[in-house]
Amino acid sequence: MRIGIDLDDTIFCTTEQYKKYQTDYLLKQNISVDELWSNREYRVDFIKSNIETIFSDVRLKEDCLKIINKLKNDGNEIYIITARNNDYCDHMYAFTKRSIDRFNIPYTKLVLTEKFKLKSCIENNINLMIDDSKYIYDELNDKIKTILFDDKRKYLDQKDRVSSWNEIYDLLGGKV
């Protein structure tokens, strides 16, 4: 099976990193957290000027590497599919690849998409997508089986939602 996996807040603890490094920026700009994340200009500027630092010590989600290795060893192909673009970095593909490769995650291909992922999933013959975005989960719904990675426990009533990487493996029957 070919499994697509989102990167930010599914493999990487990205939001945790933003929170860790946003304080100085908020003080310097004299803005609130809400303003930072609702205003595209601030958001792009913050991430762009801090991207190296933000991802220099990013953590993986708990058990993520262990389960991705299991999925790979079970004979699946791993595609990392992330909605990143060059807004935040001049060489986003190379930058993203470098930040992933530090962890020895066994993946076949890294795919950078726009906001929507259905097209990339179809083009890459993805059979199963794992993503923390409810937006992507809804977009792919009924077209490609999607597991909603919901470790913040916001969508408890959704089908195929999990709160941990171990649960992903269990949901897939321990072997896929």
The SS3 call for residue 88 is coil
Tell me if 139 contacts Mg ion by CB under 5 A. Answer: no
74 Cβ partners below 8 Å, 6+ apart? 175, 176
Q: Nearest approach, Cβ of 132 to Mg ion (angstroms)?
A: 4
Of the two residues 152 and 175, which places its CB atom closer to Mg ion in the complex? 152
Say how many C-beta atoms besides its own lie within 10 A of residue 41's C-beta.
7
Which residue carries 């929170």 as its tokens?
19
* Gap between the Cα atoms of 154 and 149, Å rounded: 10
Tokens at 131, concatenated: 């993503």
Pairing state of beta strands 109-112 and 2-5? unpaired
Tell me if 132 contacts Mg ion by CB under 5 A. Answer: yes
Q: Using CB under 5 A, which of 3, 4, 6, 71 touches Mg ion?
A: 6
Of the two residues 13 and 36, which places its CB atom closer to Mg ion in the complex? 13
Tell me if 150 contacts Mg ion by CB under 5 A. Answer: no
Per CB under 5 A, the segment of 47-55, 58-66, 108-116, 131-139 that binds Mg ion is: 131-139
Tell me if 9 contacts Mg ion by CB under 5 A. Answer: yes
Tokens at 89, concatenated: 């970095």
Per CB under 5 A, the segment of 9-17, 33-41, 58-66, 98-106 that binds Mg ion is: 9-17
Site residues, Mg ion (CB under 5 A): 6, 8-9, 132
